[in-house]
Structure 1
Amino acid sequence: MASGDHYFSSAPESEMNLRPFTAHLAGRTYELVTANGIFSPERVDMGTRVLLDHVPSPPPGGQFLDLGCGWGPLALTLALESPHATVWAVDVNTRALDLVRRNAEKLGLTNVNPVTPDNVPDDVRFTTIWSNPPIRVGKNELHNILERWLPRLEPGSDAWLVVQRNLGSDSLHRWMQTTFPELTTTRVGTSKGYRVLRSRSHAEA
């Protein structure tokens, strides 16, 4: 990355250099495209891999959210496994969104919407949320992100998050339990230094 580039920058300063790579998603290996100036550009990062190893198959349909999508491993997996769902791939990094768009096209997926946060319609509610959230933006900003999106879960639906243990997963877990009384947040897995958290929205009476 250029000195001014961060994967949570909205517009990386460096010139985009596209290059091919292979990724294993939804049980198959695919030829995709990546670039500099994004998070984990060459591979499915370890946290995302741990999350994928722990989440159950997504519902067959509905509105899905990949929060902090990067080049799209979670969004593409959701779209491949649930072709009748609409997958919102959300990131502030416009280069990452461009890569999600390119990769969805390469896979022939028409059910992926790569958008910035403000371009998700306010009335959309989510049947599931998968996220490897951007912990390094700082605690306050991370809390703001989760406060914006987790309340948009449909009743009876789940959000799945993966957080590195030494970057505050346990304190985040406690904060989520306190902040979202309408959700039941539990730790459902630990692997390779990461925690997988599940937040289930209470079903309507």
Structure 2
Amino acid sequence: MTDRPIRVLVCEDQELIRAGYVTVLGAQPDLEVVGEAANGHEALAQAERLNPDVVVMDIEMPLLNGIEATRRIAGPEAANPAKVLVVTTFNVDQYVYDALRAGASGFLLKDAPLSELIDGVRTIARGDSLLPPAVTRTLIGRYADRIRPAGTPAPLDGLARRELEVLRLIAGGLSNAEIATELVLSVETVKTYVSRILTKLNLRDRVQAVVLAYRTGLVSAE
């Protein structure tokens, strides 16, 4: 475990908002703002050059929108994928869905308190997702028919019975504490199971785990 600060790249086309993010995030002892970008092309160039841990990404940006920039920075084709926190004024299911499909690890509205932005960066840096459980459940469930193929692919074959139970509950939108209560386990034990699941399935975070659970048919939208 390293004690170095979390390296953050801020991508936002509105200068005042970008400056505010940079100031607030840079004031945290465990965060370091290593770069800024005012459009999607700059975001790609800076991400490649700086290799940040977390990218704070606006959706509506000139030249290249935040969804496509996220896909190139955090998607499966990215050479050195970063974790992306999408921050936008648009509280629209389709935006959230597209951002998650592109590889984002979390979603936050611009009118959220700045403390939530700070906590959000820390949350996705440690491998957790930033979506309220209810949003995870309804959003992924609503679009499950678009992302779940027929049959159950092989990846889940490597999971033990208890790990499958935990994955089902993650996909149901339960937090670690709620999973612990449901399965009568300690929160630390649940964290261990979640970490093991992500490692076995080669997943970046809980968001990817939720999507995979629907894709494989482990859970359904019904």
TM-score, reference length from structure 1:
0.38
Which has more strand, going by share of residues? 1
Comparing both chains, which one has the higher relative contact order based on Cα–Cα distances under 8 Å and sequence gaps of 6 or more?
1
Which has more helix, going by share of residues? 2
